Amino acid sequence: MEHLLNGTSDFLSLAVHADWDFFLQDYAVIDFQVRHIDHVGTEPYIAQRFGPTTNWFINHVHGSGIRVLVIISNSLKLNFYGGEITDNNWHWITLVKVLNEYGLYIDRIQTGYASAAAGFSSPGPLTIGHYVGPNFLRGSIDEIRFQHSNIVAGAPNVGLTDLLTLPTEAYAISTNPYPIAALKKNVISGYHCFMAGYMDAKRKEFDPLKLPDGTIF
């Protein structure tokens, strides 16, 4: 379901789980839907923190764009930006890992690229809509998914020429919106606002918040 966050105190927190270990995989995808209410400062989307020196996050820095940052044992491993969101519409954000290459996408269009020599782990709890201190997301987030495969068939490249295929239906455990067979156990939140053709305004209730073990709350 859609999670509307107030920008001052609302966020979701999920316990440590192997499914959040995106950066250790050879092929992996994190994707979600987001809609901003305003455009001020730094607003975290998704983060994982294991103490003050090991953490990663995907956030939106207004004036700069979507940022992916990874710090392991106080060593900077990854730090790059994609495009900026400047409106109040829903957008599909995707982070794709293909071996040592990473791509950021907004609404299927590649907007950022980076490479890193090795995988790394941050075994901490997952937070959605908050990182540390006063930084919170003011807006809505939904259709959050971690997938340990390249389910979107992304091919990130330094020229930013890759295009993904937009999903055609809501994410669920039993359905596959892509023409690639893959498990859906890592869907955290079913889509409250999936639009026909992706950008249509029609909305419908779908799944509640769902954890990888099937727990619903």
Q: What is the pLDDT of residues 91-112, one digit of tens each?
A: 999 999 999 999 999 999 999 9
Beta-ladder partners of 66: 60
- In the prediction, which pLDDT does 21 show? 85
Question: Chain centroid to CA 209: how far?
Answer: 15
Condensed to tens digits (0 to 9), the pLDDT of residues 24-62 reads 899 999 998 899 998 889 998 998 888 778 889 999 999
CA distance 81 to 62: 11
Instruction: State phi, psi for 18 to the nearest 5 degrees.
Output: -60, -25
Distance separating alpha carbons of residues 126 and 56, to the nearest angstrom: 10
pTM summary value? 0.79
For residue 41, give the DSSP letter: S
What confidence score (pLDDT) does residue 130 get?
A: 78
| Torsion angles phi and psi, residue 57, rounded to 5 | -155, 160
With vertex at residue 162, the alpha carbon angle to CA 159 and CA 168, rounded to the nearest 5 degrees, is 160
50, 129 in Cβ contact below 8 A?
no
Read off φ and ψ for residue 116, nearest 5 degrees. -140, 145
Q: Distance of CA 156 to CAs 32, 61, 100, 201, 202, Å?
A: 18, 22, 10, 30, 31
DSSP state of 24: G
Tokens of 52: 């003050």
Q: Rounded to whole angstroms, how far apart are CA atoms 186 and 30? A: 10
Average pLDDT per consecutive 10 residues, the chain (217 residues; last block may be shorter): 61 79 91 89 88 88 94 91 93 95 96 89 81 80 86 96 82 44 37 30 32 40
Looking up residue 80, the CATH number of its domain turns out to be 2.60.120.200
Spatial CA neighbour of 54 closest among 69, 68, 36, 72: 72
Structural domain including 44 reads 1-217
Q: How many helices (H) and strands (E) does the chain have?
A: 0, 12
Domain tally for the chain? Answer: 1
